[in-house]
Chains A and B, each alone.
Chain A
Amino acid sequence: NSKVIQTPRYLVKGQGQKAKMRCIPEKGHPVVFWYQQNKNNEFKFLINFQNQEVLQQIDMTEKRFSAECPSNSPCSLEIQSSEAGDSALYLCASSLSSTSAETLYFGSGTRLTVL
C-alpha cells in the first residue's frame, strides 16, 4: 500500500524539550502533509508542502513548530518546546497534487509522548 516512511516510531520527551520527527514521502510525490491525531481520534492539519515550499500551515505550527522538506533529504517536523498537549500521533502523508483531488498515502506515524 503506502511507501511513506516515518521515523522514529515512538518519541518520548520532557516538557520544554525539542521533538523532531521525519518523513520520506513516496517517490515522485511532490506534496507532503503533516497531521496530528489526538487520543480522541481527531485529526488536525498542521502544514503541507509542495516540493520545498510551504503551501499552508495553521497558526500553531507557525508559532511553535519548525518544518521543512529539503530536496534530496527527508521532510521534518520539529516542536521547538514540547508541551503535554502535544502528545499525539503525528502522521505524514504524500500526494501527487495539492490542487486537484488526489489520493493521500500515509506513513505509520510517530507517536509522541510528552511527560
Chain B
Amino acid sequence: GDQVEQSPSALSLHEGTDSALRCNFTTTMRSVQWFRQNSRGSLISLFYLASGTKENGRLKSAFDSKERRYSTLHIRDAQLEDSGTYFCAALNMGYKLTFGTGTSLLVDP
C-alpha cells in the first residue's frame, strides 16, 4: 500500500536554532497535512497543503507541486513549546489518509 516515510524519527534542538522535517511518499498524493501531537495525545493541525507553501509564524511547510511525492516542515527559531511529536499525513488519489511514523522533537534551553 501507500507508504509515507518521515524523517528524522527523533530530533533534538537548542532554543533559537532552525531545522526541517521531511516526508517522502511512495506514490503521488493529492494533499498533505502536518500535525503536532502533544503529551496528552491531541493532534493539532499545523498546515494543510494541496500545493505550494504556507507559512505561519516560525513554521513553514512546502508540498512539491510537480511530482507531489514529498513535503517539508521548517521550524525557525525553535522554542521550548515546539517540543512534541510531529506527523505528516498525506491523502492519495483514492482519498485515503496515510500517516508518517512521526518525528519526536525536543527543544532544550
Contacts and interface: CB of A to CB of B under 8 A. Distances in A.
Size class of the B contact interface (CB-based, 8 Å): 20 to 34
A92 to B, nearest CB: 10
A1 B45 contact: yes
Interface of B: 30-31, 33, 35, 40-45, 48, 50, 85, 87, 89, 91, 95-97, 99, 101-102
Contacts of A109: 41-43
B99 to A, nearest CB: 4
A104 B41 contact: no
Interface of A: 1-2, 33, 35, 37, 40-43, 45, 56, 89, 91, 93, 98-99, 101-109, 111
B100 to A, nearest CB: 9
A41 B95 contact: no
29 contacts: A2-B45, A33-B97, A41-B85, A41-B87, A41-B102, A42-B99, A42-B101, A43-B87, A45-B96, A45-B97, A56-B96, A89-B41, A91-B41, A93-B43, A101-B50, A101-B91, A101-B95, A103-B33, A103-B48, A104-B45, A104-B97, A105-B45, A106-B42, A106-B45, A107-B42, A108-B40, A108-B42, A109-B42, A111-B41
